[in-house]
A and B are shown apart, each in its own frame.
Chain A
Amino acid sequence: MVAFTAKRLGVALLVALTVSLITFSMIFVSGDPAVAIAGEGARAEDVDAIRKFYGFDRPIPVQYADWLTGALKGDLGRSYTLRQPVADVIASRLPVTLALGASAILFALVLAIPLGVVAAVRPNSFIDRFALLVAVVGQAMPSFWFALTLILWLGVYWRLLPITGSDHWQNFVMPAIALGYYVTPAVMRLTRAGVLEVLSSDYIRTARAKGLRPAKVLFKHALRNAIIPVVSLAAVQFGFMLGGSIVIETIFQINGLGYLAWESIQRKDLPVMQAIVLVLSVIYVLLTLAADLLNAALDPRLRTS
């Protein structure tokens, strides 16, 4: 387990480093960053001053090393437009996005796990077909369109929920549904497949042969094993969702990282964009690392691969 942990940690670190390199090189995608900040038609002296101020005149490896060591110390540079350190802006917005992501994954699990279990216990039943429908629809519906449809019905026609904002828990209900619905199909399919597989295994047959009640067999014996891969999938999907929340946060005007990303993209505020990509990637790397280690701890067979 120690060797496995060390190896996984090393890979995670390397991935994070590579991501930071790619993120850093975003500066050069648009050409000269100093010109981009100064705006078109700026005087050459101004562009030079900006180049000096932000340090774009130094060799690129030096700039990268500087940016990376700063990032490791929690200094992500200064925003071009907000006149504030990027780290402060991100720290104030990240909790909102984490809360949204957590409510979304909660919604997805509460919907997907029971449906998946029932679908596996009663294959080809009405519930199984309904679960399939939920999955198929969820995979095909554009997220922004689903969000607008929710606003129209729950917010305007039925007046059940507030449409925009992020001050009250009620503000998070619709965004959580809109965001979480996309994770539902994957979680449900995995739950169904896992429970189906476990239910046909020998130890379940033994448990049934002993005369245990079906509910006890299902909840105490079957679900316990079938749920492990679902937990790690949920961790990975949580990471994906934080990245995907930009669409949902923009629609509901939730003051989180996604909305910040959209604002900074509009203003071409590169340090903020870079920092958000980096922060979300690192969160994803940590989540997958945690899921892998958890799986390996629970199932020793996984440690060899």
Chain B
Amino acid sequence: MAQTTLPGLHIIDGIAAPTPGALLRQRILRHWGLLSGGLILAAIVAMAIFAPLLAPHDPYDQDLARKLIPPVWHLSAKASWTYPLGTDHLGRDYLSRLLYGSRISLLIGFSAMLISGVIGTTLGVLAGYFGGRVDTAVNFIVTTRLAMPVVLVALAVVSLVGSSLTVVIWVLGLLLWDRFAVVMRSATQQVRSREFIVAAQAVGCSTPRILLAEVAPNVLNHLIVIATLEMAQAILLEAALSFLGLGVQPPTPSWGLMVSEAKGLMFFDPWLIAIPGIALFLLVLSINMLGDGLRDVTAPENRG
């Protein structure tokens, strides 16, 4: 066919179809929820990493002479830029405690998510891949786990074992794996019947190899989405445990504990509960937005 006569149209010949990677990047850049969630989370992670550099004071340094200084936006003569977010009932700098508190939330959220992710993914993939009796057994374990009241069991175990950072992480990790198992099971079931799995079986690949090399890459996107949601869940639960006095112990700065320590004073100094509460809200919100966004861009058909 002759060269087109329309001016400018020949440019189209030079454009190749976008690659899947380019399409994915495009979907990510157009998803404002994913972007803003990612940005807020990145900011909080940076806060946690650089807390020693950013914090204007020592988060543990007490001085009753300077207790309950209000934050700078407060119309009070006591407010000053020396303590931008004010001080708590023991005179500790609130901004420094807030910065260090992000470490606790992220550390507990991430570690608990890793533990529950390993347990839940193992159970879910095994149930989905093998089906039959394995599936029945895993289903039963998940049902039993769901029947146990999480907050109550977590509180009871922490109180019996004794509270520490490690105990909280393990208790949450051992309790929150149910969603991993449920989602990984159905994702694996979908992959199992595909041709490339049958082909791998026919070639004589070992089961571990099929699970790791063929199944794992195809359920990874589901795994990442659940991981974000469960991390958010673990952070909220840690805050609730600390709020009830059975999570992170004082004087460690945890956002849930900060709200708890301030609740007696909230009628007079409401900013004391507002600041850590908003921080928790933003952290969980950003993780959820990131997770929802990842689900949308990696598997647009699963939008809820």
User: B156, B232, B267, B277: which contacts A145 (Cβ < 8 A)?
Assistant: B277
Q: Does B299 lie at the interface of the complex (its beta carbon under 8 Å from any beta carbon of A)? A: no
Tell whether, in the assembled complex, residue B277 and residue A142 are in contact, meaning their CB atoms are under 8 Å apart: yes
Tell whether, in the assembled complex, residue A29 and residue B161 are in contact, meaning their CB atoms are under 8 Å apart: yes
Q: Does A90 lie at the interface of the complex (its beta carbon under 8 Å from any beta carbon of B)? A: no
Chain B residues whose C-beta falls within 8 Å of the C-beta of A171 in the assembled complex:
none
Instruction: Give Cα A250–Cα B241 distance, bound, in whole angstroms.
Output: 12
Tell whether, in the assembled complex, residue B281 and residue A268 are in contact, meaning their CB atoms are under 8 Å apart: no
Q: Taking A26-B160, A265-B159 as contacts, is the C-beta distance between A142 and B256 under 8 angstroms?
A: yes
Instruction: Give Cα A142–Cα B156 distance, bound, in whole angstroms.
Output: 20
Q: Does B227 lie at the interface of the complex (its beta carbon under 8 Å from any beta carbon of A)? A: no
Name the segment of B116-124, B141-149, B197-205 touching the other chain.
B141-149
User: Closest residue to A155 on the B side, CB-wise?
Assistant: B267
Q: How large is the interface on B (under 10, 10 to 19, 20 to 34, 35 or more residues)?
A: 35 or more
Chain B residues whose C-beta falls within 8 Å of the C-beta of A246 in the assembled complex:
151-152, 155, 244
Chain B residues whose C-beta falls within 8 Å of the C-beta of A142 in the assembled complex:
236, 239-240, 243, 256, 259, 277, 280-281, 284
For residue A128, give the distance in angstroms from its CB to the closest CB of chain B.
13
Tell whether, in the assembled complex, residue B243 and residue A265 are in contact, meaning their CB atoms are under 8 Å apart: no
Tell whether, in the assembled complex, residue B266 and residue A152 are in contact, meaning their CB atoms are under 8 Å apart: yes
For residue A250, give the distance in angstroms from its CB to the closest CB of chain B.
6
Tell whether, in the assembled complex, residue A11 and residue B140 are in contact, meaning their CB atoms are under 8 Å apart: yes
Chain B residues whose C-beta falls within 8 Å of the C-beta of A281 in the assembled complex:
147-149
Q: Does B288 lie at the interface of the complex (its beta carbon under 8 Å from any beta carbon of A)? A: yes
Chain B residues whose C-beta falls within 8 Å of the C-beta of A265 in the assembled complex:
155-156, 159, 246
Q: Does B157 lie at the interface of the complex (its beta carbon under 8 Å from any beta carbon of A)? A: yes
Tell whether, in the assembled complex, residue B156 and residue A277 are in contact, meaning their CB atoms are under 8 Å apart: yes
Q: Taking A243-B151, A244-B151, A247-B243 as contacts, is the C-beta distance between A148 and B159 under 8 angstroms?
A: no
Tell whether, in the assembled complex, residue B240 and residue A262 are in contact, meaning their CB atoms are under 8 Å apart: no
Tell whether, in the assembled complex, residue A143 and residue B240 are in contact, meaning their CB atoms are under 8 Å apart: yes
Q: Taking A141-B281, A143-B240 as contacts, is the C-beta distance between A19 and B155 under 8 angstroms?
A: no
Q: Does B35 lie at the interface of the complex (its beta carbon under 8 Å from any beta carbon of A)? A: no
8 contacts between A and B (CB under 8 A): A11-B143, A22-B144, A26-B160, A136-B285, A247-B240, A250-B244, A261-B155, A281-B147
A contact set with B: CB distance below 8 Å: 11, 14-16, 18-19, 22, 26, 29-30, 136-137, 139-145, 148-149, 151-152, 156, 189, 193, 240, 242-244, 246-247, 250, 261-262, 265-266, 268, 270, 273, 276-277, 280-281, 284-285, 288
